[in-house]
Structure 1
Amino acid sequence: MEDAVRIAPEIEDFLHAVRARKVDQSENLLKQNPSLLNSVEAGGYSALHFAAFNGDIPMLKMLLERKPVIDMENFDGNPPLVMAVRGQQLEAIRFLVNAGADVNKESSSGRTAIHYAASMGCLKSLQLLIDLGSKILFESKESGSLLHWACHSGDIECIGSMLYVYHIPVNITDKHGGTPLFTAIFMKQFASVEFLLEHGANPNIVIPADGTTPLHIAVEHSSIGYIRLLLDCGANPMAKNNDDETPIDFAIRGQKTDFLKELNKPHLPFEKRADEAVRYKNHGNKVFAQGEYVKAAKFYTLAIHLDNKNSTYFSNRAVSYFNQKAYESAYWDALRCIQLNPSWPRGYVRKGATELILKKYADAVATANMGLNFDKDNANLLSIREEASNHLKKA
């Protein structure tokens, strides 16, 4: 067995003082031995890495005054800025970038600090990095897009923000042709998979190199719930990859009898899906009128899985969620409704009402004004604008 990497005692003492936030001791050690400034431990972490992760601003200030290698990578390829992001240290992020850290520094695979913010679902860090000059769109990159990385977190707010705040296409591809849907399935993030499918992800998209579809990946790497969801949303169990193998073939080879049973069930032909969706919508309307909002939302969800391009289904589910006080879910449905039918005032009513209840008064006013461009006398939008404006005046 090879000897473990040994770190010189003076380096251990210095880095220990930095980790312990002992600024004076760290400074004294540097005065005695300036070469310690860029020294690293066994993982390639320097003093700047530790101070960044800890959000230790006094330590960062002391170190940066001595001009360390500000973008030095540890052995994982991460500079101190990434460590500040991983520690969710907003002040340290700002401090490092203002001191000269490259906000768009890429690793060998194209990862930047903002990719890590997305992977953690940390929107505050992500927005700060954008404000400081970070790129947003990473298309056909080895690293994948921010939406790919948001799917690692499983954070619906982050994923929704990628789609509707930062306008990243739901079917954006990485270097290999994989979309965020593949990532969400592989990471076993069921809610993310469902959200992506409902908001326009293609369940039959193909990776060009090998012909793999999301259903192939699901059969290999996930559970029965993912299979059902993809099939409900129109995934083709007979799609062949470049080796002429279908998801059914994968299930047979893997001896996954429960998957095989699900894959072999008769499914609605494409031309009948819209009619079946209407039937579910009508059931939803019926139970909604009876005040059964949870049941109504479930019926509207079934309709959406059959037809994710019908704005009415999202509008109806939005108000069902709203009446359950599931305001975040209502908000994303309202945005999808507007995306599908931007000239329909009802989508703006749903969005504005949700923003009002969430106390996003400025957003509610803006939403109401957008909707009033299409229906200047809409009573609901006028009421939302008036109430939100009154709150802003009191603030």
Structure 2
Amino acid sequence: MASPSISHLGSAGSALAFEDYSLYSNLSDDQLLQVAIERSLTETHHSAPTDYSATAPATTSPPQASQSQDNKPNPPSTDRYQRRVSSGQNPAAPQTSVTYSSPNPPTEKPPDMKTFDGTVSRFMTGSGKRMVAYYRPDGSLVHIAPEPEEEEEPLFRAIREGKATKVKALATCRGTNLMLPSKPGWLATHQAAWFGQDSCLRMLLSAQPGMVNKRTSRGETPIMVAVSRVQLGCVQVLLEHGADAEIPNNEKETPLYKACERNSAAIVATLLNHGVAVNTRCIQGWTALQEAVVQSNMEICEMLLKAGAKLNTRNMYGLTPLFTAAQNGQMASLRFLIKHGADINTQADDGATALYEAAKMGHEEVVELLLSQKADANKPGKTGMLPLHIAAQRGSDLIVSMLIPATSRARVRRTGISPLHLAAERNRDDVLEMLIEAGFDVNAQLSEERMRLYEDRRSTALYFSVINNNVEAVRMLLNAGANPNLDMFKPLMVASRMGCIQTVKLLVEHGADINAGIPTHPTTFPAVFMFSMKYLPLLKYLLDHGGHALPCFDCVYGNRAHPPIKTNRSNWDNDSDQILAEVPLRTGVQFCEMISAPSISRWAGPIIDVLLDYVGHVTLCSRLMEHLDSYSGWSGIKEKAGNFTSVYFHCTNSQHISRHLPVHQIIQSH
């Protein structure tokens, strides 16, 4: 870049916003990005540097090397993040010459590690490039450059490149110690097995047979490495030289298990012909057959079964191969196992059956196959629920339709929860309709044990639909005969609190008790009024359809002074401002106390005004009078209480009409 600009810097530009841009005139975009990354870490480096000791990682792959000519992947080398250095441990790395114009720029060459006292930071770019940066104790950057590659030993390089003649020469050289690893446990035989150099491997084993079963830090023998890399030729060479094919790695996985995991039928056949044990378990209890089932390789499954693999062996979670096949939706494996007599009703340690797990995962074909083979749909899992429950909860229409005829209604009742509850809870309307049409009881209630799981002690599917504000589900349940008055906290109160007038109307039309109370929070007036006071049209609707207004004006104190109200936040109202009054009355909380709550008292006048339209002559208690006196615009409401009433009468055309008449006219009319 001849003359860099902000537009060329891209995202790095923001990190270098206050620098002299000529400082970076000779850097590439990639180098600029690295400098920007380092600048973002400056605050970290200003703090006291941390001393990280160099530790070798577990050997999962051979040591670092340049890309081979055959383009085989090369595993990463040992990486160290940061360490405090006071003596030379890293060789100097060549650095591209860069011209800087700002003061105290990074040097062109790495510092002399014999005299350098600072911090060395190693990191990797997003493209996988390894970088190293040197910092002074004050956090300023000394030098940054790509990390020099570690030098590869001649023998391991010759193996990687497949130079058999050179490998033979080095292996037979008097000064060569073939038992000396290049990394923790990584011998030349592991290197040959990794890169599939079977001719080199043959020469190495001829020179030093004792390497045949040596293990890496992960417990991998050369044959395990060869199997992991699907190097069939190397596997055969190792077996010819006496390799023990039963030695597991640190995860207790045998070469046979690994061959099944790698889906290599040829290696599985080779190992089985060599007579390896077929039912050995890994650290989690999985067998080779279970892994082959997961891979859905019927050729391998057939070979394992002929070699004596057990069909119903369980892993540490109690899962058999058939359960695993059902869980993963492996139809071919499932048919194979059923054909050979696997237990179709096998249960895991938590009680779940293969059918339950298939329904949970939504595997429709698996459910159909299991049911066709007489799988028991009435075995509950550890939660007590049946496959139908989990299918309804998941919303699997087809699976629900298959499970309905196979499920016992008596067993459903015994679980203490209906699939209707779960369908309503998750808004699975199609499933809900299907269950209703199948005749499931829309008034089924949760068992006491399951009811206690909910703070509001809900018990019906209708309650779930109301609290979800699912009008269509509410309509379906009510039309099917759902009783809106079964729950302790009535669905009508929930709908009123949510302000859902459609749901309120549906509930009232189907017989919801407007004047019901709450057993745990008794009131002297209809409890639903508490949740509709802020929405006067809703309050009027409830009063028009049978809500009792008169109890709102019954007060045991009358014109006398009311005692102070001790308030307590309600534990059943989601409104954070809603306060329930606690008073020592046998009959419960009075209307005048409820309306005194801070969140309601500001609307006391209009609320009282609406209620007075539905009662005759009433006496307002001293507390209600206080509310009406608190605002001059409400003074006329007091006169309404003493002189007017609202009456309802039934006309010949069956219409209800509300009229405001003086008290003496009402008396004369009667």
> Can you list the C-alpha shifts for 1:333-365, whole angstroms capped at 9, x where unaligned?
xxxxxxxxxxxxxxxxxxxxxxxxxxxxxxxxx
Deviation at 1:177, TM superposition (A): 2.6
Between the aligned residues of both structures, percent identity stands at: 25
Q: Deviation at 1:60?
A: 0.5
Offset at residue 245 of structure 1 (A)? 2.5
Determine if the alignment matches structure 1 residue 198 to structure 2 residue 339.
Answer: yes
- After the TM superposition, which residues 9-48 of structure 1 pair with which residues of structure 2 at under 5 Å, given as runs? 9-11=150-152, 15-26=156-167, 34=177, 37-40=180-183, 47-48=188-189
The residue correspondences of 1:299-318 to structure 2 (distance < 5 A) are none
**Secondary structure at the counterpart of residue 368 of structure 2:** helix
CA distance in 1 between partners of 2:360 and 2:148 (Å): 44
**18 and 216 in structure 1: CA distance in 2 versus 1, 3 angstrom threshold:** farther
352, 376, 379: which one aligns with 1:212: 352
The change in CA–CA distance for 1:266 and 1:96 in structure 2 (over 3 A counts) is: same
What are the within-5 Å matches in structure 2 for residues 149-228 of structure 1?
149-163=291-305, 165-207=306-348, 209-221=349-361, 223-228=363-368
Q: Take 1:181 and 1:251, find their aligned partners in 2: how far apart are those partners?
A: 20
2:383 to 223, 239, 243: 243
* Letter of the structure 2 residue corresponding to residue 198 of structure 1: K
Match in the other structure for 1:58? 199
What is the distance in 1 between the residues matched to 2:331 and 2:198?
39
1:181 Cα shift? 1.0
Deviations 1:56-86 (A, max 9, x none): 2221023332467444445665332123234
Q: In the aligned structure 2, how far is the partner of 1:7 from the partner of 1:194? A: 56
User: For residues 143 and 26 of structure 1, what CA distance do their matches in structure 2 show?
Assistant: 41
Q: What SS does structure 2 have at the residue aligned with 1:60? A: helix
Looking at structure 1, the residues matched to 181 and 355 of structure 2 have their Cα atoms a distance apart, in angstroms, of: 48
Aligned to 2:253: 111
1:214 positional shift:
0.9
The match for 1:145 among 287, 297, 302 is: 287
What whole-Å deviation, never above 9, does each CA across 1:7-33 have from its counterpart, x for those lacking one? Answer: 972337654442221234556677677
Higher helix share: 1
Q: Match of 2:271?
A: 129
Q: Distance in 1 between matches of 2:398 and 2:170?
A: 62
Cα distance in 1 for partners of 2:247, 2:254 equals 6
TM norm structure 1: 0.56
Write the distance in 2 (CA, Å) between the matches of 1:88 and 1:223: 32
Q: CA deviation at 1:193?
A: 1.3
From 229, 244, 247, the equivalent of 1:102 is 244
Deviates more, 1:137-146 or 1:107-116: 137-146
Distance 1:35 1:120 in 2: 29
The answer (yes or no) to whether the contact 1:170–1:196 under 8 Å persists in 2 is yes
| Pairwise CA distance, 1:240 | 0.8
Following superposition, the deviation at residue 39 of structure 1 comes to: 1.5
1:261, 1:246 → 2: CA distance? 11
Could you give the per-residue CA deviations for residues 94-135 of structure 1, whole angstroms, max 9, x where no partner exists? Answer: 321343432110234432111123344544422332343411
User: Residues of 1 paired with 2:280 and 2:181: CA distance?
Assistant: 31
What is the deviation of 1:88?
Answer: 4.3
1:335-346 to 2 correspondences below 5 Å: none
Residue in 2 that maps onto 1:359 = none
Aligned-residue offset at 1:224: 1.8
Counterparts of 1:83 and 1:259 in 2: how far apart (Å)?
A: 46
- CA 1:76/1:244 → structure 2, altered by over 3 Å: closer, same or farther? farther
The structure in which a higher percent of residues are strand is 2
Residue aligning to 1:323: none
Q: Per chain length, whose mean CA-contact separation is higher, i.e. which structure has more relative contact order (CA < 8 Å, sep 6+)?
A: 1
Structure 2 residue runs without a partner (length 5+): 1-79, 82-121, 124-129, 131-146, 409-670
Say whether residues 1:257 and 2:396 are aligned partners.
yes
SS at match of 1:38: coil
Distance, in Å, in 2 between the alignment partners of 1:61 and 1:13 is 18
Looking at structure 2, the residues matched to 218 and 177 of structure 1 have their Cα atoms a distance apart, in angstroms, of: 16
Contact 1:18 1:26 (C-alpha < 8 Å) held by counterparts: yes
Q: Is the 8 A contact 1:38 1:69 kept in 2?
A: no
Distance 1:7 1:224, change over 3 A: farther
| CA RMSD, 1 decimal | 3.6
What is the alpha-carbon distance in structure 2 between the residues aligned to residue 180 and residue 214 of structure 1? 10
Distance in 2 of aligned mates of 1:187 and 1:73? 34
Q: Deviation string for 1:356-389 (max 9, x for gaps)?
A: xxxxxxxxxxxxxxxxxxxxxxxxxxxxxxxxxx
Tell me which amino acid in the other structure corresponds to 1:179. Answer: T
Summarize the Cα distance change of 1:77–1:152 in structure 2 as closer, same or farther, 3 Å threshold.
farther
Offset at 1:180? Answer: 0.8
Shift of 1:242: 2.2
Bigger CA radius of gyration: 2
Aligned CA distance change for structure 1 residues 63 and 140 (closer, same or farther; 3 Å): closer
Q: 2:275 and 2:342 mapped to 1: Cα distance?
A: 29
Matched pairs, number: 264
Normalising by structure 2, we get a TM-score of 0.35
